[in-house]
Structure 1
């Protein structure tokens, strides 16, 4: 089953915002940001034809809390956050992270607890919030994406481009 089916997103859904989180200088930690770059390139090259007008992309780097106004300005119905997450799975594993796992504080951004950020965004936008985690292989400074994470990034970007 594809990730878009798991997310239960009908084609053409209005105001979908995909947010990439991570540090591109630290190997697989940049996976979320790399998906955004990949999708932006697909849009530029007209690979994404249907639904693109309802698709917004945002690379928040390591501090998504710095983009709260921009996120609110998109007026999204659904927000999908994508980040590298230590899940004790094989590298490149992609999972939808449950809200209760985020709220427990298990899952944090690079600068502030993600549950605080999520609660604020939910309150301000009334959007459905979804998190997609990608298991990193290495988050060492100066490395590129590992092969399994690069494959996961390409697969997710491909699935979203068909949305």
Structure 2
């Protein structure tokens, strides 16, 4: 099994993409209490679960070999999260996803983080394809994909289930050769 290194981190112009750590507990608790949803899937919905999640849960994806969850840090503050997931090492593919704290949106952090993590993944692994999926009605995420250089490949009809019903999903792809 291949996997991402536990100490994997990426530096971009304004961001540090790094593994979540126990020192993030205060920030994560405040995010959960404010109901600001940008943390990776599996994040606790109550403050009482934060310590355990930071010690174990957030790192399970990496330990399984299927991806990694990273904190998106700007000026010493966790402003978002970014992940590689659904990694198929034999096929050379993975998917990227991200979330930015509502107070820090509109500053270009998401496309910068996506470009940085994508470049790092291609430079440090044998992966050759990264996918990004966004709901068709999520204009901000569609823009992030385009700004990060991903190619729109198609629409999966009614492929995502949201609280208010199914949504169409746009699939974007970026190949290692696209960066040459």
TM-score relative to the length of structure 1: 0.29
TM-score relative to the length of structure 2: 0.27
Q: Larger strand proportion, structure 1 or 2?
A: 2
State the structure with bigger RCO (CA 8 A, min sep 6), 1 or 2.
1
Q: Larger helix proportion, structure 1 or 2?
A: 1
